[in-house]
Structure 1
Amino acid sequence: MGFSCFFVLFFLSISFHPIHGTPDLIQKTCKNTKYYDLCISSLKSDPTSPKTDTKGLAVIMVKVGISNANATNSYLSTQRLTSTNDTLMKKVMKECAEKYGFASDSLQNSVQDLGSELYDYAYMHVMAAADYPNACKNAFKRFSGLVYPPEIAVREEGLKHICDVVSSIIENLSAMI
Protein backbone atom coordinates (compact mmCIF):
# COMPACT_ATOMS: atom_id res chain seq x y z
CA MET A 1 0.00 0.00 0.00
CA GLY A 2 2.84 2.41 0.82
CA PHE A 3 4.45 1.82 -2.58
CA SER A 4 1.13 2.50 -4.35
CA CYS A 5 0.70 5.81 -2.51
CA PHE A 6 4.27 6.79 -3.38
CA PHE A 7 3.65 5.86 -7.01
CA VAL A 8 0.43 7.94 -7.22
CA LEU A 9 2.06 10.92 -5.45
CA PHE A 10 5.06 10.71 -7.79
CA PHE A 11 2.89 10.86 -10.94
CA LEU A 12 0.75 13.63 -9.49
CA SER A 13 3.84 15.67 -8.70
CA ILE A 14 5.27 15.41 -12.21
CA SER A 15 1.93 16.21 -13.79
CA PHE A 16 1.81 19.54 -11.89
CA HIS A 17 5.48 20.43 -12.25
CA PRO A 18 7.04 20.55 -15.67
CA ILE A 19 10.28 18.68 -16.06
CA HIS A 20 13.17 21.15 -16.06
CA GLY A 21 14.94 21.46 -19.39
CA THR A 22 11.84 20.76 -21.47
CA PRO A 23 11.47 23.71 -23.86
CA ASP A 24 8.16 25.48 -23.86
CA LEU A 25 6.12 25.70 -27.04
CA ILE A 26 7.44 29.13 -28.02
CA GLN A 27 11.07 28.02 -27.74
CA LYS A 28 10.36 24.74 -29.49
CA THR A 29 8.55 26.55 -32.30
CA CYS A 30 11.18 29.25 -32.69
CA LYS A 31 14.03 26.75 -32.63
CA ASN A 32 12.89 25.59 -36.07
CA THR A 33 13.08 29.08 -37.59
CA LYS A 34 15.94 30.96 -39.20
CA TYR A 35 15.45 34.04 -37.00
CA TYR A 36 15.16 32.57 -33.52
CA ASP A 37 15.61 35.84 -31.61
CA LEU A 38 13.01 37.66 -33.72
CA CYS A 39 10.60 34.78 -33.24
CA ILE A 40 11.12 34.61 -29.47
CA SER A 41 10.86 38.36 -28.91
CA SER A 42 7.78 38.71 -31.13
CA LEU A 43 5.90 35.81 -29.59
CA LYS A 44 6.83 36.60 -26.00
CA SER A 45 5.68 40.20 -26.46
CA ASP A 46 2.15 38.97 -27.12
CA PRO A 47 0.31 38.19 -23.87
CA THR A 48 -1.82 35.48 -25.54
CA SER A 49 1.11 33.41 -26.79
CA PRO A 50 1.56 31.26 -23.66
CA LYS A 51 -2.08 30.22 -23.90
CA THR A 52 -2.10 29.10 -27.53
CA ASP A 53 -0.98 26.25 -29.77
CA THR A 54 1.42 26.26 -32.71
CA LYS A 55 -1.25 27.50 -35.11
CA GLY A 56 -1.99 30.34 -32.72
CA LEU A 57 1.71 31.22 -32.62
CA ALA A 58 1.71 31.36 -36.43
CA VAL A 59 -1.27 33.72 -36.34
CA ILE A 60 0.50 35.95 -33.81
CA MET A 61 3.57 36.14 -36.07
CA VAL A 62 1.37 36.90 -39.09
CA LYS A 63 -0.16 39.77 -37.13
CA VAL A 64 3.35 41.07 -36.42
CA GLY A 65 3.93 40.98 -40.18
CA ILE A 66 0.64 42.79 -40.86
CA SER A 67 1.63 45.47 -38.37
CA ASN A 68 5.04 45.82 -40.05
CA ALA A 69 3.52 46.05 -43.55
CA ASN A 70 0.90 48.59 -42.42
CA ALA A 71 3.50 50.70 -40.64
CA THR A 72 5.69 50.69 -43.74
CA ASN A 73 2.71 51.59 -45.92
CA SER A 74 1.95 54.54 -43.62
CA TYR A 75 5.60 55.57 -43.55
CA LEU A 76 5.82 55.54 -47.35
CA SER A 77 2.55 57.44 -47.70
CA THR A 78 3.80 60.10 -45.28
CA GLN A 79 7.16 60.31 -47.05
CA ARG A 80 5.39 60.73 -50.37
CA LEU A 81 3.37 63.63 -49.01
CA THR A 82 6.33 65.34 -47.35
CA SER A 83 9.00 64.64 -49.97
CA THR A 84 10.26 67.26 -52.34
CA ASN A 85 8.41 68.26 -55.45
CA ASP A 86 10.08 65.36 -57.27
CA THR A 87 7.08 63.79 -59.01
CA LEU A 88 9.05 60.68 -59.93
CA MET A 89 9.99 60.05 -56.30
CA LYS A 90 6.38 60.59 -55.27
CA LYS A 91 5.24 58.12 -57.91
CA VAL A 92 7.69 55.45 -56.73
CA MET A 93 6.79 56.06 -53.08
CA LYS A 94 3.12 55.62 -53.95
CA GLU A 95 3.88 52.37 -55.78
CA CYS A 96 5.88 51.12 -52.81
CA ALA A 97 3.11 52.04 -50.37
CA GLU A 98 0.69 50.04 -52.51
CA LYS A 99 3.02 47.03 -52.49
CA TYR A 100 3.17 47.06 -48.71
CA GLY A 101 -0.61 47.35 -48.66
CA PHE A 102 -0.77 44.23 -50.84
CA ALA A 103 1.65 42.50 -48.47
CA SER A 104 -0.67 43.29 -45.57
CA ASP A 105 -3.67 41.95 -47.52
CA SER A 106 -1.78 38.79 -48.38
CA LEU A 107 -0.87 38.23 -44.75
CA GLN A 108 -4.48 38.80 -43.73
CA ASN A 109 -5.47 36.08 -46.23
CA SER A 110 -2.97 33.75 -44.58
CA VAL A 111 -4.72 34.24 -41.22
CA GLN A 112 -7.96 33.04 -42.80
CA ASP A 113 -6.15 30.08 -44.37
CA LEU A 114 -4.56 29.15 -41.05
CA GLY A 115 -7.99 29.24 -39.43
CA SER A 116 -9.25 26.80 -42.05
CA GLU A 117 -6.06 24.71 -41.77
CA LEU A 118 -5.27 25.37 -45.41
CA TYR A 119 -1.55 25.47 -44.74
CA ASP A 120 -0.44 25.37 -48.38
CA TYR A 121 -2.48 28.47 -49.13
CA ALA A 122 -1.33 30.19 -45.95
CA TYR A 123 2.28 29.49 -46.92
CA MET A 124 1.66 30.82 -50.45
CA HIS A 125 0.19 34.07 -49.08
CA VAL A 126 3.09 34.55 -46.68
CA MET A 127 5.60 34.01 -49.49
CA ALA A 128 3.73 36.57 -51.62
CA ALA A 129 3.83 39.05 -48.75
CA ALA A 130 7.58 38.54 -48.45
CA ASP A 131 8.02 39.22 -52.16
CA TYR A 132 6.05 42.48 -52.41
CA PRO A 133 8.95 44.56 -51.01
CA ASN A 134 11.07 43.35 -53.94
CA ALA A 135 8.68 45.13 -56.27
CA CYS A 136 9.27 48.29 -54.27
CA LYS A 137 13.04 47.94 -54.53
CA ASN A 138 12.72 47.23 -58.25
CA ALA A 139 10.65 50.38 -58.73
CA PHE A 140 13.60 52.40 -57.49
CA LYS A 141 15.97 50.51 -59.79
CA ARG A 142 13.83 51.26 -62.85
CA PHE A 143 14.63 54.94 -62.65
CA SER A 144 18.22 56.11 -62.80
CA GLY A 145 19.02 58.73 -60.24
CA LEU A 146 16.64 57.32 -57.61
CA VAL A 147 18.35 55.77 -54.65
CA TYR A 148 16.64 53.07 -52.61
CA PRO A 149 16.36 54.72 -49.18
CA PRO A 150 18.08 52.81 -46.35
CA GLU A 151 15.00 53.31 -44.13
CA ILE A 152 12.91 51.34 -46.61
CA ALA A 153 15.63 48.69 -47.00
CA VAL A 154 15.57 48.09 -43.23
CA ARG A 155 11.79 47.78 -43.24
CA GLU A 156 11.95 45.42 -46.24
CA GLU A 157 14.43 43.19 -44.44
CA GLY A 158 12.25 43.20 -41.32
CA LEU A 159 9.15 42.08 -43.21
CA LYS A 160 11.09 39.38 -45.04
CA HIS A 161 12.47 38.04 -41.74
CA ILE A 162 9.01 38.00 -40.17
CA CYS A 163 7.61 36.16 -43.20
CA ASP A 164 10.48 33.68 -43.03
CA VAL A 165 9.59 32.91 -39.40
CA VAL A 166 5.91 32.50 -40.29
CA SER A 167 6.67 30.23 -43.24
CA SER A 168 8.84 28.01 -41.02
CA ILE A 169 6.05 27.70 -38.47
CA ILE A 170 3.57 26.86 -41.24
CA GLU A 171 5.94 24.21 -42.59
CA ASN A 172 6.01 22.66 -39.12
CA LEU A 173 2.22 22.75 -38.94
CA SER A 174 2.00 21.00 -42.31
CA ALA A 175 4.37 18.30 -41.07
CA MET A 176 2.08 17.65 -38.06
CA ILE A 177 -0.85 16.67 -40.26
Structure 2
Amino acid sequence: MASSKILLYHLLLLLFLVIGETRLYANGDTKLMKKTCRHTKYYDLCFSSLKSDPTSSNADPRGLAMIMVGVAMANATSTSSYLSSQLLDPATNDTSYKRVLKECLDKYTYAGESLQASVQDLADQVYDYAYMHVAAAKDYPNVCHNLFKENPDLVYPPELSRRENALKHICDIAMAIIDDFNWY
Protein backbone atom coordinates (compact mmCIF):
# COMPACT_ATOMS: atom_id res chain seq x y z
CA MET A 1 0.00 0.00 0.00
CA ALA A 2 2.75 2.44 0.94
CA SER A 3 4.72 1.60 -2.21
CA SER A 4 1.67 2.30 -4.37
CA LYS A 5 1.30 5.72 -2.68
CA ILE A 6 4.98 6.47 -3.31
CA LEU A 7 4.57 5.37 -6.92
CA LEU A 8 1.51 7.60 -7.25
CA TYR A 9 3.42 10.56 -5.77
CA HIS A 10 6.31 9.96 -8.16
CA LEU A 11 3.93 9.79 -11.12
CA LEU A 12 2.21 13.00 -10.03
CA LEU A 13 5.58 14.71 -9.55
CA LEU A 14 6.69 13.55 -12.99
CA LEU A 15 3.41 14.77 -14.49
CA PHE A 16 3.83 18.21 -12.90
CA LEU A 17 7.42 18.43 -14.12
CA VAL A 18 6.38 17.52 -17.66
CA ILE A 19 3.49 19.98 -17.62
CA GLY A 20 5.73 22.72 -16.20
CA GLU A 21 8.43 22.07 -18.80
CA THR A 22 5.84 22.06 -21.59
CA ARG A 23 4.42 25.35 -20.34
CA LEU A 24 7.90 26.88 -20.28
CA TYR A 25 8.54 25.70 -23.82
CA ALA A 26 5.15 26.93 -25.04
CA ASN A 27 5.61 30.33 -23.41
CA GLY A 28 9.26 30.59 -24.39
CA ASP A 29 11.23 33.80 -24.11
CA THR A 30 8.89 36.42 -25.51
CA LYS A 31 11.10 39.44 -24.79
CA LEU A 32 12.65 39.60 -28.28
CA MET A 33 9.31 38.86 -29.95
CA LYS A 34 7.65 41.73 -28.06
CA LYS A 35 10.54 44.10 -28.79
CA THR A 36 10.44 43.13 -32.46
CA CYS A 37 6.69 43.48 -32.80
CA ARG A 38 6.69 46.91 -31.13
CA HIS A 39 8.57 48.14 -34.21
CA THR A 40 5.79 47.07 -36.57
CA LYS A 41 2.42 48.55 -37.53
CA TYR A 42 0.51 45.42 -36.50
CA TYR A 43 1.77 44.41 -33.06
CA ASP A 44 -1.01 41.91 -32.28
CA LEU A 45 -0.74 40.14 -35.63
CA CYS A 46 3.04 40.10 -35.35
CA PHE A 47 3.12 38.73 -31.82
CA SER A 48 0.42 36.10 -32.36
CA SER A 49 2.08 34.92 -35.58
CA LEU A 50 5.50 34.63 -33.97
CA LYS A 51 4.13 33.10 -30.79
CA SER A 52 2.32 30.40 -32.78
CA ASP A 53 5.62 29.13 -34.19
CA PRO A 54 7.48 27.00 -31.64
CA THR A 55 10.87 27.95 -33.12
CA SER A 56 10.33 31.64 -32.38
CA SER A 57 11.30 31.30 -28.72
CA ASN A 58 14.89 30.50 -29.75
CA ALA A 59 15.05 32.68 -32.88
CA ASP A 60 17.22 35.71 -33.46
CA PRO A 61 15.84 38.70 -35.42
CA ARG A 62 16.69 37.06 -38.75
CA GLY A 63 14.86 33.93 -37.61
CA LEU A 64 11.84 36.01 -36.64
CA ALA A 65 11.87 37.62 -40.09
CA MET A 66 12.03 34.17 -41.67
CA ILE A 67 9.05 33.06 -39.60
CA MET A 68 7.02 36.08 -40.78
CA VAL A 69 8.02 35.47 -44.38
CA GLY A 70 6.87 31.87 -43.87
CA VAL A 71 3.51 33.13 -42.60
CA ALA A 72 3.24 35.33 -45.69
CA MET A 73 4.12 32.36 -47.93
CA ALA A 74 1.38 30.31 -46.26
CA ASN A 75 -1.08 33.14 -46.96
CA ALA A 76 -0.03 33.43 -50.62
CA THR A 77 -0.23 29.66 -51.09
CA SER A 78 -3.61 29.46 -49.38
CA THR A 79 -4.92 32.31 -51.52
CA SER A 80 -3.63 30.59 -54.66
CA SER A 81 -5.51 27.45 -53.62
CA TYR A 82 -8.63 29.51 -52.96
CA LEU A 83 -8.40 31.11 -56.41
CA SER A 84 -7.85 27.71 -58.03
CA SER A 85 -10.96 26.37 -56.32
CA GLN A 86 -12.95 29.38 -57.56
CA LEU A 87 -11.74 28.75 -61.10
CA LEU A 88 -12.80 25.09 -60.88
CA ASP A 89 -16.19 25.88 -59.37
CA PRO A 90 -18.87 24.94 -61.94
CA ALA A 91 -20.95 27.92 -60.79
CA THR A 92 -18.19 30.24 -62.04
CA ASN A 93 -19.08 30.46 -65.70
CA ASP A 94 -18.46 34.15 -66.51
CA THR A 95 -15.43 34.24 -68.82
CA SER A 96 -14.38 37.75 -67.72
CA TYR A 97 -14.54 36.69 -64.09
CA LYS A 98 -12.51 33.54 -64.82
CA ARG A 99 -9.92 35.55 -66.74
CA VAL A 100 -9.49 37.96 -63.83
CA LEU A 101 -9.35 35.09 -61.33
CA LYS A 102 -6.66 33.41 -63.44
CA GLU A 103 -4.61 36.60 -63.51
CA CYS A 104 -5.05 36.95 -59.75
CA LEU A 105 -3.89 33.37 -59.32
CA ASP A 106 -0.77 34.23 -61.31
CA LYS A 107 -0.11 37.27 -59.10
CA TYR A 108 -0.40 35.29 -55.86
CA THR A 109 1.88 32.64 -57.36
CA TYR A 110 4.42 35.38 -58.10
CA ALA A 111 3.99 36.66 -54.53
CA GLY A 112 4.84 33.20 -53.22
CA GLU A 113 7.91 33.04 -55.47
CA SER A 114 9.07 36.46 -54.26
CA LEU A 115 8.67 35.36 -50.67
CA GLN A 116 10.64 32.19 -51.36
CA ALA A 117 13.41 34.35 -52.83
CA SER A 118 13.28 36.46 -49.67
CA VAL A 119 13.87 33.37 -47.52
CA GLN A 120 17.01 32.64 -49.52
CA ASP A 121 18.09 36.27 -49.27
CA LEU A 122 17.65 36.17 -45.49
CA ALA A 123 19.65 32.95 -45.30
CA ASP A 124 22.39 34.59 -47.36
CA GLN A 125 22.17 37.75 -45.20
CA VAL A 126 21.39 39.91 -48.23
CA TYR A 127 18.82 41.99 -46.41
CA ASP A 128 18.19 44.69 -49.00
CA TYR A 129 17.12 42.02 -51.51
CA ALA A 130 15.08 40.23 -48.86
CA TYR A 131 13.23 43.48 -48.18
CA MET A 132 12.74 44.11 -51.91
CA HIS A 133 11.27 40.63 -52.47
CA VAL A 134 8.84 41.01 -49.56
CA ALA A 135 7.82 44.43 -50.89
CA ALA A 136 7.15 42.88 -54.31
CA ALA A 137 5.05 40.14 -52.70
CA LYS A 138 3.07 42.82 -50.88
CA ASP A 139 2.37 44.63 -54.14
CA TYR A 140 1.16 41.68 -56.24
CA PRO A 141 -2.33 41.65 -54.65
CA ASN A 142 -2.76 45.29 -55.73
CA VAL A 143 -2.60 44.16 -59.35
CA CYS A 144 -5.35 41.66 -58.65
CA HIS A 145 -7.50 44.28 -56.94
CA ASN A 146 -6.94 46.70 -59.83
CA LEU A 147 -8.08 44.06 -62.33
CA PHE A 148 -11.43 43.99 -60.60
CA LYS A 149 -11.60 47.78 -60.62
CA GLU A 150 -10.96 47.77 -64.38
CA ASN A 151 -13.95 45.47 -64.82
CA PRO A 152 -16.80 47.36 -63.13
CA ASP A 153 -19.26 44.53 -63.82
CA LEU A 154 -17.22 42.24 -61.55
CA VAL A 155 -17.47 42.27 -57.79
CA TYR A 156 -14.25 41.93 -55.83
CA PRO A 157 -14.91 38.90 -53.61
CA PRO A 158 -14.89 39.79 -49.89
CA GLU A 159 -12.85 36.66 -49.14
CA LEU A 160 -10.18 37.76 -51.60
CA SER A 161 -10.18 41.24 -50.08
CA ARG A 162 -9.68 39.74 -46.61
CA ARG A 163 -6.79 37.62 -47.85
CA GLU A 164 -5.22 40.56 -49.69
CA ASN A 165 -5.26 42.70 -46.56
CA ALA A 166 -3.81 39.89 -44.48
CA LEU A 167 -0.93 39.38 -46.92
CA LYS A 168 -0.20 43.10 -47.01
CA HIS A 169 -0.16 43.32 -43.21
CA ILE A 170 2.06 40.25 -42.84
CA CYS A 171 4.47 41.62 -45.46
CA ASP A 172 4.51 44.99 -43.65
CA ILE A 173 5.56 43.17 -40.49
CA ALA A 174 8.29 41.20 -42.25
CA MET A 175 9.58 44.35 -43.94
CA ALA A 176 9.67 46.22 -40.61
CA ILE A 177 11.64 43.39 -38.99
CA ILE A 178 14.12 43.28 -41.88
CA ASP A 179 14.39 47.06 -41.99
CA ASP A 180 15.19 47.26 -38.29
CA PHE A 181 17.95 44.66 -38.05
CA ASN A 182 20.32 47.51 -37.12
CA TRP A 183 18.68 48.15 -33.71
CA TYR A 184 19.26 44.68 -32.31
TM-score (norm 2): 0.81
Out of 89, 107, 117, the residue aligned to residue 109 of structure 1 is: 117
1:69 lines up with 2:87 in the alignment: no
On the 8 A contact 1:81/1:90 being kept in 2, the answer is no
On the 8 A contact 1:106/1:125 being kept in 2, the answer is yes
Map residues 79-158 of structure 1 onto 2, 5 A cutoff.
Answer: 79-82=86-89, 83-158=91-166
1:44 aligns with: 51
1:56 lines up with 2:63 in the alignment: yes
Aligned residue-pair number: 155
- Looking at structure 1, the residues matched to 40 and 183 of structure 2 have their Cα atoms a distance apart, in angstroms, of 16
On the 8 A contact 2:111/2:140 being kept in 1, the answer is yes
1:18 aligns with: none
- Looking at structure 1, the residues matched to 130 and 30 of structure 2 have their Cα atoms a distance apart, in angstroms, of 26
Structure 1 counterpart of 2:33, one-letter code? I
What secondary structure, in the 3-state scheme, does the structure 2 residue paired with 1:40 have? helix
On the 8 A contact 2:86/2:92 being kept in 1, the answer is no
On the 8 A contact 1:65/1:107 being kept in 2, the answer is yes
Structure 2 counterpart of 1:44, one-letter code? K
- Looking at structure 2, the residues matched to 121 and 130 of structure 1 have their Cα atoms a distance apart, in angstroms, of 14
Change (3 A) 1:47 1:88: same
- Consecutive unaligned residues of structure 1, counting only runs of 5 or more, are 1-21
1:25 aligns with: 32
- Consecutive unaligned residues of structure 2, counting only runs of 5 or more, are 1-28
- Looking at structure 2, the residues matched to 132 and 157 of structure 1 have their Cα atoms a distance apart, in angstroms, of 12
Deviation at 1:53, TM superposition (A): 0.4
On the 8 A contact 1:49/1:57 being kept in 2, the answer is yes
What's the Cα RMSD here?
Answer: 1.4
Q: Which consecutive aligned stretches of 4+ in structure 1 deviate over 6 angstroms post-superposition?
A: none
Deviation at 1:23, TM superposition (A): 6.6
2:85 aligns with: 78
